[in-house]
């Protein structure tokens, strides 16, 4: 059985489905890596396609039975390599984001957001205006474990680069590998909303309202997939923490965007939640509840999709994390660095795309679709959970490693779409030539469910 098929089967086992057919695909892609990155990408998108077909059948519609285009899926997973604004590519990582040598090894840091940069500098005992050279010099004086421990205490993003075995033997690695790839738990609350009557074959989620409280890649990819299938998605961002502009443009097609401070405007959010079918969050475990939000209590029967870096159990359950950080901590960076470093003193590398993020996003969207379909049968709300570290554990355990492989090619522009000088990757599902509309202006919609962009049918 191929790794691709293994992922599909594991998804279906976690979601409680048996016997569904999956689209067949070829294996050649631009996701060349030692680990089976294509199997992860293709299996995640295939799981979404199959879940969408189950939704169509539940709505009395004909399934599409998608056949995936591997190059198109690879382009979607490599969207940051396709992205352009007026022909200019983005700076994907800030100066303090990357691999750095320490006194006894390597660390991987992430400081793309200004508040994460400030926390990282505090880990090193440096002032906010310190430059890269000062940070590099300070890291060289500290052990990798010391940097990781301080980062955990201060809410910064830095991890020790581990081997695969070190990760598997650690308490956090064992917690990450435990449980299904997509965890679904039914709640006691009972809903009342039925399948929207305006669903169509291409828009099986038409009429479904989704509140999106996610950022960066995994969560936004999930809600972008739901928007592609017709859901009305309202993304909510805190006004005090601006989003990275190019990242928003790359992952927020087909959505509305509003600004709302949940610390001071919680009543508005609770009203939005009362009329939502789905809530998708990327907060660390318990963060929303500490603000006084119980989604099932406010909207009985709601489906709550949750994405986290490390999972909701284990010693790292409350830590922040991103795809690149998880790759480094879990051993993926050393595995992917080995094949190309015979001429390079650095032992570290990365997957050819933020594959943990993208795959987790598509898997979360698939889980939400199946949870909605199940709710039509029993009226029960469900929590759907994915974690980047759990996705990484699947990838590390999957068969089909290729240590001797060519470099990954850049995705071709044939799999891109462009609007007003902004070029992004086309949808991973081949039946959809483009998203319903390009990403709107950040934070320009009112916090309500009444707005529809011009041209939406």
**Catalytic residues, which ones?**
357
Distance CA 178, CA 41 (A): 21
Distance CA 387, CA 401 (A): 22
CA angle 26, 27, 30 (to 5 degrees): 120
Distance CA 266, CA 438 (A): 29
CA dihedral 417, 84, 213, 193 (to 10 degrees): 0
Cross-strand partners of 425: 416
Distance CA 81, CA 89 (A): 8
E strand or H helix at 308, and its extent?
strand 303-308
Which of 41, 106, 103, 107 has the alpha carbon at shortest distance from 71? 41
Which of 411, 273, 308 has the alpha carbon at shortest distance from 352? 411
* Tokens read off for 53: 């077909």
* Tokens read off for 226: 């739901």
Which of 220, 212, 221 has the alpha carbon at shortest distance from 258? 212
């Amino acid at each position: 059985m191929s790794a691709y098929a293994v992922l599909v089967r594991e998804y279906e086992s976690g979601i409680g489905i048996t016997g569904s057919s999956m689209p067949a695909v070829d294996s050649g892609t631009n996701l060349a890596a030692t680990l089976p990155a294509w199997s992860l990408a293709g299996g995640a998108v295939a799981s979404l396609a199959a879940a969408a077909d189950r939704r169509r059948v539940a709505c009395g519609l004909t399934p599409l039975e998608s056949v995936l285009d591997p190059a198109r899926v690879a382009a979607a997973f490599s969207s940051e390599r396709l992205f352009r604004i007026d022909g200019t590519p983005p700076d994907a990582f800030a100066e303090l984001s990357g691999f750095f040598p320490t006194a006894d090894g390597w660390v991987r840091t992430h400081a793309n957001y200004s508040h994460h940069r400030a926390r990282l500098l505090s880990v090193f005992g440096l002032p906010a205006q310190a430059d890269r050279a000062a940070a590099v010099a300070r890291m060289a004086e500290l052990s990798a474990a010391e940097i990781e421990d301080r980062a955990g205490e201060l809410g910064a993003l830095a991890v020790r680069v581990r081997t695969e075995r070190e990760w598997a033997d650690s308490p956090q690695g064992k917690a990450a590998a435990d449980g299904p790839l997509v965890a679904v738990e039914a709640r006691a609350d009972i809903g009342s909303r039925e399948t929207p009557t305006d669903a169509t074959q291409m828009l099986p989620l038409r009429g479904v309202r989704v509140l999106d409280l996610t950022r960066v890649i995994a969560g936004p990819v999930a809600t972008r997939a739901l928007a592609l299938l017709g859901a009305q998605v309202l993304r909510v961002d805190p006004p005090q923490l601006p989003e990275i502009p190019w990242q928003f443009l790359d992952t927020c097609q087909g959505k509305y965007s509003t600004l709302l401070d949940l610390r001071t405007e919680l009543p508005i959010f609770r009203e939005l939640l009362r009329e939502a079918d789905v809530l998708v969050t990327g907060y660390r475990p318990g963060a929303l509840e500490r603000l006084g939000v119980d989604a099932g209590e406010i909207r009985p029967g709601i489906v709550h999709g949750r994405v986290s870096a490390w999972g909701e159990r284990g010693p790292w359950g409350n830590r922040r994390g991103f795809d690149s950080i998880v790759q480094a901590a879990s051993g993926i960076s050393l595995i992917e660095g080995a094949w190309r470093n015979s001429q390079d003193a650095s032992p570290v590398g990365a997957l050819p795309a933020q594959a943990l993020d993208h795959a987790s996003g598509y898997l979360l969207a698939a889980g939400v679709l199946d949870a909605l379909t199940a709710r039509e049968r029993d009226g029960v709300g469900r929590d759907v959970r994915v974690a980047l570290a759990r996705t990484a554990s699947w990838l590390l355990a999957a068969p089909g490693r290729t240590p001797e492989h060519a470099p990954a090619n850049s995705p071709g522009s044939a799999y891109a779409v462009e609007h007003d000088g902004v070029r992004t990757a086309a949808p991973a599902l081949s039946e959809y030539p483009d998203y319903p509309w390009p990403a709107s202006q950040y934070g320009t919609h009112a916090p309500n469910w009444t707005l529809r962009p011009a041209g939406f049918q």
